[in-house]
Structure 1
Amino acid sequence: MNHLVFLVASLLTVASVQAVLDQAKFSPKLLELSKTVHGTCVSKSGTDEASIKKVINGEFTDEPKIKVYMRCILTESGVITDEKGLNVELATQLLPSEVKDEVLANTKTCLAKIKGITNKEDRVFNFFKCFYGLNPNILVV
Structure 2
Amino acid sequence: MLLVSTAIVIVLVGTAIGESRFDSLDDDQKAMLKMLHDTCIDESGADEALIQKAMKGDFAEDDKLKGAMDESGVPDMDTMVSMLPESMQERGGKMIGVCKSITGSSAPDTAMKLNQCFYKADPEYFFII
In the superposition, the TM-score normalised over structure 2's length comes to 0.74
Equivalent residue number for residue 95 of structure 1: 84
Q: Which runs of 5 or more residues in structure 2 are unaligned?
A: none
- Deviation digits for residues 71-118 of structure 1 (CA, Å, limit 9, x no counterpart): 38xxxxxxxxx7xx74956852x4233432222222121112x14x35
Matched residues, number: 122
C-alpha distance in 2 between matches for 1:44 and 1:7: 15
Contact 1:16 1:139 in 2 (8 A): no
- Deviation digits for residues 24-58 of structure 1 (CA, Å, limit 9, x no counterpart): x2244432222212222212111221111111111
Equivalent residue number for residue 116 of structure 2: 129
Q: Which has the higher contact order (CA 8 A, sep 6+)?
A: 1
Percent of aligned positions that are identical: 22
> CA RMSD of the aligned region, Å?
3.0
SS of equivalent to 1:21: helix
Structure 2 residue 103 is the aligned partner of structure 1 residue 104: no
- CA gap 1:97/1:53 in 2 versus in 1, 3 angstroms: same
